[in-house]
Amino acid sequence: MKDVSIIVLDFGSQYTQLIARRLREERIYCEIVPYFTKVEEITAKNPKGIILSGGPASVYDEDAYEVDKAIYDLGLPVMGICYGMQRIAVDFGGSVIRSDHHEYGKAELYINEEHGNVSPLFESCENGRIVWMSHSDRVDVLPEGFAPIAYSDNSPFAAIANEEKRVYAMQYHPEVQHSEEGYLMLRNFARKICGVTEKWDMGHFLKEQIAKIKEQVGEGKVLCGLSGGVDSSVVAALLYEAIGDQLIPVFVDNGLLRKGEREQVEEVFKVNLKVPLVVADASELFLERLAGVTDPETKRKTIGHTFIEVFEAEAKKHSGIKFLAQGTLYPDVIESVSVKGPSETIKSHHNVGGLPDWMDFELIEPLRELFKDEVRKLGRELGLPESMINRHPFPGPGLAIRIMGDVNKPDLNLLREADVILLDELKASGYYTRTWQAFAVLLNVKSVGVMGDNRTYDNTVCVRVVEAVDGMTATFAHLPHDLLERISRRIINEVDGINRVVYDISSKPPATIEWE
């Protein structure tokens, strides 16, 4: 088992994954595990510190989430965030009450400087910096041995510590971008308090994964599904580096691709990477299975099951295949598998959750521990071209989840034409590389319009362009109005059947990036 520098116990906060992200940005290897993880499983990972995440519950709820209290006896530094702070306060004998003044949003943090001494948690931090609050409970009575180390206007105990036991807690969320020096506080906890000296990077990860893949695969063969996106491209390149011709890369044309995508994928892998590529055209099968399906989750599951079915059929054409490789990422795991912890399942991912019982392949998911930006760094380590590394994310279910309602060929063709115009204009303006993801959504909402002297009653397309670092949070891109106007004008003029274009200005959360 790989040693982990910092373990995060997940109590259900939608920000939990950001704790790991911030620490990894500091080259500190961190993993998230459910709050109910037993102390034996934690110590097996040989961590140097433990963080208790935030969460939506109250410590006084009848079924409040509790940790294995033996973690406090390990002698390791512990830090609690929001709910994690309240959990620590109660576990050490303090009390928590409902706050008269709820704090949601930005607050100024003031660091206590008793006798000129500042907690190591705040080393190099400036006083009065902005932090992000999101709580309705607050610590009322401090546990014995704890002292306040920072406060805000509404929180006299914005941060507390028992320096002797090396237990720290903060009411705010240092992991979110709104907390101006939150990254520094997390770094101080890991480096100064926990004593983490290792500097984890993609070079280490690449060597570890190559060795792990070779050991796992042995003399067997690996079937790898390719979409042409960053994740599957990196998986294929990584596997080819590790096992060479034991890899059988398969690209499935599911009929849900963007315009010209199949041809682009074939060129990248066959010509640029010199990787032998098997192309399976299953477009009719996918569209047949999706006929009449309108529920988003049913769409995703139908597509996922059909993908696996096609892979198994392809595998039977080759001897010695024992493994199936997938481009599952850490956010996929966090968003999909609610049993990992109390975090609510937002949406299922077609490549998460293992294989059905009737498949006899072992699963290989070499990117399962990585965020998207880390995958791009790994791609550079593998020598992939920037045009592939910087490609916007494209979901496994493809255009099926960008059509509201039934999926059919006419609507797919309509959406493809609108989508390619959007991407062409973003690339021409330079905004493609400045944004995280961009796509068009066919709303299947018709409205009245006028073209020439004629009345129209045609489709509405929504344009979605977002800025993000890892896709776990995102804000809509503030595109210039003349660019938006050009995109709208071209779509309406060039795509027969669309007479209205709208722009999605919601952020994640509360919205997701994709519409389904």
User: Which residues are marked as active site?
Assistant: 82, 173, 175
Can you name the residues that pair with 475 across neighbouring β-strands? 467
- Is residue 289 within 8 A of residue 302, CB to CB? The reply is yes
Alpha-carbon dihedral of residues 427, 431, 437, 443, nearest 10 degrees?
Answer: -80
229 annotated among ligand-binding-site residues:
yes
Run of H or E including 232? helix 230-243
Q: Which residue has the tokens 């991407």?
A: 423
Q: Which residue has the tokens 């995440």?
A: 53
230 annotated among ligand-binding-site residues:
yes
Distance CA 228, CA 214 (A): 24
Alpha-carbon dihedral of residues 97, 103, 109, 113, nearest 10 degrees?
Answer: -20
Distance CA 393, CA 414 (A): 21
Q: Which residue has the tokens 């309602």?
A: 405
User: In b/e form, how buried is each residue of 268-281, taking b as 16+ CB within 10 angstroms?
Assistant: bbeeebebebeebe
Q: Is 82 left (phi over 0), alpha (psi -120 to 50) or beta?
A: left
Q: How many CA atoms lie within 13 A of 37 on its CB side?
A: 23
Q: Collapse the DSSP code of 35 into the 3-class scheme (helix H, G, I; strand E, B; otherwise coil) and give the result.
A: coil
Can you name the residues that pair with 50 across neighbouring β-strands? 7, 78
488 annotated among ligand-binding-site residues:
no
Q: Which residue has the tokens 């992991």?
A: 175
354 annotated among ligand-binding-site residues:
no
Q: What is the DSSP letter of 474?
A: B
- Is residue 448 within 8 A of residue 462, CB to CB? The reply is no
Is the peptide bond preceding residue 510 cis, with omega within 30 degrees of 0?
yes
136 annotated among ligand-binding-site residues:
no
471 annotated among ligand-binding-site residues:
no
Distance CA 432, CA 467 (A): 10
Binding site residue list for ATP: 227-233
Binding site residue list: 227-233
